[in-house]
Amino acid sequence: MQHASEASPRCPIEGLLDIVGDRWSILILRDAFYGVRRFDGFQQHLGVSKKVLAQRLRAMTAAGILKRTAYQQRPPRFEYRLTAKGQDLFPILLSMSRWGNRWLAEPDREWLLLRHKDCGNIVEARLVCSHCGGPMTPARVKAIAGPAASKQDIESLTQAVRKSRA
């Protein structure tokens, strides 16, 4: 995987991309949310090479997104389940799926529909504010550098934005 930063990530998105920043990882996660757990299952549905699949499963297990457990002893066989950290990637996958359905599908020709079990309806996922419940659109959100932001990065970003307004 490519790294924009040489050392530690400069922002939470870079940090995430260090772990699941490629197509196969996202597709493996998608299938894990569908309930696929075993190597053969991922391999068969994704059509990914065994080498790449093994590498991605190893990396996501090391990152604590998947947990590897034996489901059979002789011969040893393992399955991969999403941990709490992995389950918490659901909003990202759901947002991706919403965008694809909305912008890439023919009208009324979605690939995938989501039924919300609580209300029973076919619904969309919507991103709202954890405090007031209002919509979180680009215009309604202000990003503020947190304690871990590097001064150098803030300055570099500020310059890049200012340059765009010159």
Residues 101-140 that bind a copy of itself (CB under 8 A): 101-106, 108-119, 121-140
Q: Of the two residues 58 and 115, which places its CB atom closer to a copy of itself in the complex?
A: 115
67 touches a copy of itself by CB under 8 A: no
Q: For 101, phi and psi rounded to 5 degrees?
A: -60, -40
78 touches a copy of itself by CB under 8 A: no
Q: How many CA atoms lie within 13 A of 144 on its CB side?
A: 4
Q: Of the two residues 27 and 59, which places its CB atom closer to a copy of itself in the complex?
A: 27
In the region spanning residues 10 to 49, those forming contacts with a copy of itself, defined by CB under 8 A, are 10-17, 21-24, 26-27, 30-31, 33-38, 40-42, 44-48
152 touches a copy of itself by CB under 8 A: no
93 touches a copy of itself by CB under 8 A: yes
Q: Of the two residues 75 and 138, which places its CB atom closer to a copy of itself in the complex?
A: 138
* C-alpha of 142 from chain center: 22
122 pairs with which residues across the strands? 115
Amino acid 166 reads A
141 touches a copy of itself by CB under 8 A: yes
- Inter-residue contact 32 to 65 (CB < 8 Å): no
If phi > 0 it is left, if psi is from -120 to 50 it is alpha, else beta; for residue 67 that is beta
